Structure formats: C-alpha cells, structure tokens
Structure 1
Amino acid sequence: MRIIKLDAIDSTNTYLKKLSVAGGAEDGLAVVAKLQTQGRGQMGTVWDSQEAKNLTFSVFKDVSFLQLTQHFYISMAVSLAVYDGLNSLGMKDIKVKWPNDILSDNKKIAGILIENVIKLNVITGSVIGIGLNVNQTDFTGLPSATSLLLLSGQVYNLDEVLDAVLKQIEIHFNYLKTKQFKVLKAKYESQLFRKNKPSTFKNAEGSVFSGYIIGISDNGQLLVRVEGNIIKSFDFKEVVLMY
C-alpha cells in the first residue's frame, strides 16, 4: 500500500479525488496530512483537529465490483475497520453510531466521510476520509469528543495507529470483494450504538419521538421500533439520534 504524507492540505479527500480523476490513484492509496485546513465531516460539518496530534487521512479503494444499491456496505466495512483497528490497540467500549461515527465511552473518537466516484450509474471508486482523535487532549467547545490519549492515558505513535486501521480496511474490503455482505451487516448491527435501548430521536421536521434501534436495512436505512410496535425506516438526513 502506497502512502503519501503531507505537512498541510485543505482536505485529504479533495486531494485524493483530484488524483483519482487524473488517473493517479491506485487501489489502496492513502494520503495522510499533519494538518487539514478544511477538513470536512458529514453533511458539510467541519472536522477540527490539532496539527500533528491526530490522524487525518483518506484512502482510495476500487469498488467497481459493487452494485450502486450496495453502497452502504462500503460504510459498514470502513466503520468496522476503524472499530477493529481501535480494538487491536486495546481500546474498549467501542461502538458505531449510525451511519459511521465511532464512539468510545459514549464520546466521538472518529468520524468518517465517504465520497463515491460514480460513472454511468456505476461505482468505480470510493474516497474514504477518516479523522481519528489520537493524542489531542483539549476539545474546548466539543464536549462530546474524546481521544485515545484521554481514554487510555497513553501517548500513541501516529504511524502505528494508521497502520492498524489500514490493515483492517484491507481485511474488511476483502469481505466486500468476496460478497460476504451478511457477515458485514451482522457484525455492524451487533456494534450499533444504543441498539435495543430506549432512545430519543428528532426527525427532519423537528419533532421528537422515542423508539428502539433494531438494526439497518440492506441499503443502510436505520430501523427504529416506535410506539405501537411499528418499525420505521429512516435515511441519514431524516433522523437524528438524541440519545
């Protein structure tokens, strides 16, 4: 696996997407930056990270073997790769908050932004951006954020953490290549944050309701059991888990 290391860049995802368009991104290419000046999260949010304290990187993966309708399995594979990478480092109580935030001790430790390259209704590649809080301790204004250092009291070598996650990405994309979708989905659902626990949600109209997360659909919708034992499905922008 080839790794490009940069001191500073606006966004590793943007950098890697440009490489992909130019034909210079082979399967497994990773771009790592000490500092991202315009790091992005889901739905246009900003990923704020102190320079050289955390991991901000992107990986290009060839996913041309997948159908467009199977795109959420990419998110499952990446979420589980980060999950297993952190477990291999001895981290405990790791959970996946749908669709792909990684939590530990109920606080966010990693975020994932996946941007698929689609041509003629076919997914040809996937640019996977990962922000992982490693050695940062000051999260002023971000009370729900944490880091490996805060959780364990241990300072981590960034290259070792990167290697642990990249190895798991290769392992989990092999599940995709061999079409072990049921295995991925079962493992993903088993690690879902607040699964089968009474939870509060807010829908796109701003209404608050209670329910139980029971899993996800094959296309990645969140399945919630609400009053009357009714199961409702929600796309990412249609509902927010309030806890």
Structure 2
Amino acid sequence: MQLIKLDAIDSTNSFLREMIYNGMVTDYTVVVTKHQTNGRGQMGTVWNSEQGKNLMFSMFKDLSIHDVEFPFYISMAMSLAILKTLKTLNIPYLSIKWPNDILSEDKKVCGILIENVIKNRLNSTIIGVGLNVNQTRFIDLPKASSLKNITGIHYDLDEILHSIVANARMYSKLLQQGYYDKVKKEYEANLFRIDKPSTFENAKGELFSGFIKGVTKYGKLMVHLEDRMVKKFDLKEITLRY
C-alpha cells in the first residue's frame, strides 16, 4: 500500500484522480487527510468533518487485472470491509443503509463515494471514505454519530485505516476468485431494515410502505410492496425514511 498523508486538501478523491491522470498511482494507493475542504457524499451532498478527528481517505483500486461485470459489487465489498473493521472494534448494532452508508443502530457513522474510471471498460475505481471516529458534536445533523460517541473510546485513526484496507483486500480477492454470490449474500444479510416494514419516499415526494428484500447485481433496491409485487428502485428513485 502506498500511503500519502496530507494536512489539508479540497477532496481526496479529486487528488487521487489527478494522480491517475498523471500516471502516478499503483494498486491500493491511499490518500488520507486531516482536513477536507470540499468533501463530497452521495448525490452531491457535502461531508463536513472537524480537523484531525475523523478518518477521510480515498483508495485506488486497479480493476484491469480482472473483469468486474457489475460495478455495484465494488460498493458491496467496500461496505463489508468497513463493517468488518467496525465489528472488531465492538461497535454495536451495525448495518449497511443502502447503498453504502454504515449505521450504528440508526445513526450514520460512515459514508462511501465510489467513482469508477472507464477506459473502454471498467478500468479502475476511486473509493472515498468518510468515517466519523473521534468527533463528538454534529451540528444540525441529528442522524450522525461517531465511534467515540457510541463507545466513549478515543481511537487511533491509522490503526482503523490499515484494518479497512486489509479487509478491502480480502473482499477484493473474493471478487477476483468469482465469489460474487458470497459477497452479495453477506451484504444483504447486513442491510438496514431488511425484511422489516419500512416507509419510503419516491422522487415525487410520495410516501409508501414496503419491505426491503435485497438488491440486484446492478445495485437496485428490491422492495416488496403492499400489493405483493417486488419492485426494483434506483438510487435517485427512492429514499428510505427512518
């Protein structure tokens, strides 16, 4: 692992993308920063973090050595890698809120942003991670929490980073060996509110009820609706209300 540590940067994903453009990156290159001025989350949201208290990094994964037909498996694998690390730290009530937020009970502790690099085919990917570790105050973010808030323990950021990367290697190896079903089943087993009555909001702002049944290989959420029909939803089509 090539590790690049920065005091401050606008976005670790953007920094790593520039490195790729200049041909300066190897598999599992990781860029980590104490402060990110323009961190991004899913669908254009902003990731705010107190300086030096949380783990903010981006990891380059070379995919040219094996064919990834369904990119969502990368998201599943990375979600599981982080989940596995947090389980070793005894963080309670962990789950994955589709597509790849990590929750403890109903509080978000981690977000993942994946940006694929395509050159005729899926060539590589940049995986950005924001993990709330030692920050304890989250102004106007009632659904956010941190590992320290949950356990009262102050954590070493480097130790957590190395554990996540090690677990990412393990799950990547499973994909390389073709164990796609194994990764998908483990991901679905850890889905937030799987098989529980839940409320959703569609793109028109309309609320409806259903049961999360799993995901497709393309990353769509499968929801069992009241009329007994299972419908598949894309990220922009549905929001889970909780």
Q: Determine the C-alpha separation between the residues in 2 that align with 1:186 and 1:33.
A: 33
Cα distance, 1:130 vs structure 2? 0.1
Is residue 72 of structure 2 the alignment partner of residue 86 of structure 1? no
Q: Determine the C-alpha separation between the residues in 1 that align with 2:129 and 2:238.
A: 23
Is residue 130 of structure 2 the alignment partner of residue 131 of structure 1? yes
Please give the TM-score of this superposition, normalised by the length of structure 1. Answer: 0.98
Dislocated runs of 4+, deviation >4 Å:
none
Cα deviations by residue, 1:32-80 (Å, 9 ceiling, x for unpaired):
000000000000100000000000000000122234x410000000000
- The residue that corresponds to 1:77 in the other structure is 77
- The residue that corresponds to 1:66 in the other structure is 67
Is residue 107 of structure 2 the alignment partner of residue 107 of structure 1? yes
Cα deviations by residue, 1:170-207 (Å, 9 ceiling, x for unpaired):
11111111111000000000000000000000111211
Q: Determine the C-alpha separation between the residues in 2 that align with 1:66 and 1:108.
A: 32
SS at match of 2:46: coil
Q: Which runs of 5+ in 1 are unaligned?
A: none
- The residue that corresponds to 1:49 in the other structure is 49
SS at match of 1:70: coil
Q: Which runs of 5+ in 2 are unaligned?
A: none
- The residue that corresponds to 1:152 in the other structure is 151
Q: Which has the larger displacement, 185-194 or 58-67?
A: 58-67
Is residue 228 of structure 2 the alignment partner of residue 229 of structure 1? yes
Q: Work out whether residues 27 and 60 of structure 1, in 8 Å CA contact, stay in contact via their aligned partners in 2.
A: yes
Is residue 213 of structure 2 the alignment partner of residue 214 of structure 1? yes
One-letter amino acid matched to 2:84 = D
- The residue that corresponds to 1:95 in the other structure is 95
Cα deviations by residue, 1:67-125 (Å, 9 ceiling, x for unpaired):
4x4100000000000100111122121100000000002100000000000111x1110
Q: Work out whether residues 88 and 164 of structure 1, in 8 Å CA contact, stay in contact via their aligned partners in 2.
A: no
Q: Work out whether residues 114 and 126 of structure 1, in 8 Å CA contact, stay in contact via their aligned partners in 2.
A: yes
- The residue that corresponds to 2:203 in the other structure is 204
- The residue that corresponds to 1:12 in the other structure is 12
- The residue that corresponds to 1:37 in the other structure is 37
SS at match of 2:171: helix
Q: Work out whether residues 115 and 128 of structure 1, in 8 Å CA contact, stay in contact via their aligned partners in 2.
A: yes
Please give the TM-score of this superposition, normalised by the length of structure 2. Answer: 0.98
One-letter amino acid matched to 1:160 = E
Q: Determine the C-alpha separation between the residues in 2 that align with 1:13 and 1:165.
A: 17
Q: Determine the C-alpha separation between the residues in 2 that align with 1:53 and 1:225.
A: 40
Q: Determine the C-alpha separation between the residues in 2 that align with 1:14 and 1:26.
A: 16
Q: Determine the C-alpha separation between the residues in 1 that align with 2:27 and 2:39.
A: 22
One-letter amino acid matched to 1:129 = G
SS at match of 2:166: helix
One-letter amino acid matched to 2:48 = D
